[in-house]
Every structure is written in structure tokens, then in C-alpha cells.
Amino acid sequence: MDKIDIYRDHIQEMLKKIASYRSIPEEIETELVIDRERDHYLLINVGWKDESRNYGNSIHIDIKDGKIWIQRDMTDYRIAEKLLDKGVPKEDIVLAFHAPYKRPYTGFAVG
């Protein structure tokens, strides 16, 4: 199995685990979007609570140019740390939610 397939499996496994947690109101659904062909992975909350619409992604991960790009992580799960625990090197993880000028100071890949 090549590196990218391993990364896909790690991401999918983590997102399925996170999606199984229920910390949001019952009225809000958690949708797991996995596009292995284009390497986009999202966890989206969608629904209504009383008269308020709830829609947004709590996690967005892409694989680009052989690296895992964490576009958004609004959870306490610490995705980057979990990936490191699974053996993914820091050089293959981009904390894309940080501005490009800040990335060199994160200890992870810059892009």
C-alpha cells in the first residue's frame, strides 16, 4: 500500500470515530463526506435547532501533493497529533488553517 492510501485510511478512520461522538444537539445531524478520488474529507453539522439554522464544517482535510492539508479543525480531537501518533511525519502535514507566513513556525510542513 502506498503512502497516500495509508493517509486516506488514517483520515477516514479518524473522521468516522469523531463522527460517532454526539456532543451536539439531537436535532443537528453530523454528515461525513469522504471523497477518496479527489482526496477531500469533511465533517459537516447540518440541521435546525428551534428556529436557528445550523450548518458548518467542523473538520476539513485534503490530500494535496502527497501531504495532508488540515484546512479546518474545530474539534478537541487534535487531528495533527493523532496523525503523528500514526506515523505520519511532520513534513507531510500542513496546518493550512494558519496563514502561510505563520506555517514555518508551526514545526509542520509549510505547503
Supply the CATH number for residue 97's domain: 3.30.310.110
Give the model's pLDDT for residue 50: 87
Give the model's pLDDT for residue 1: 85
CA angle 9, 15, 20 (to 5 degrees): 130
| Residue 104, Ramachandran bin (φ over 0: left; ψ between -120 and 50: alpha; else beta) | alpha
Per-residue pLDDT of the chain (111 residues; tens, 9 = 90+): 899 999 999 999 999 999 988 666 778 889 999 999 999 999 999 999 889 999 999 999 999 999 999 999 999 999 999 999 999 999 999 999 999 999 999 999 999
Count structural domains, the chain: 1
Residue 110 inside a domain? The answer is: no
Domain limits at 72?
A: 3-105
Give the model's pLDDT for residue 22: 65
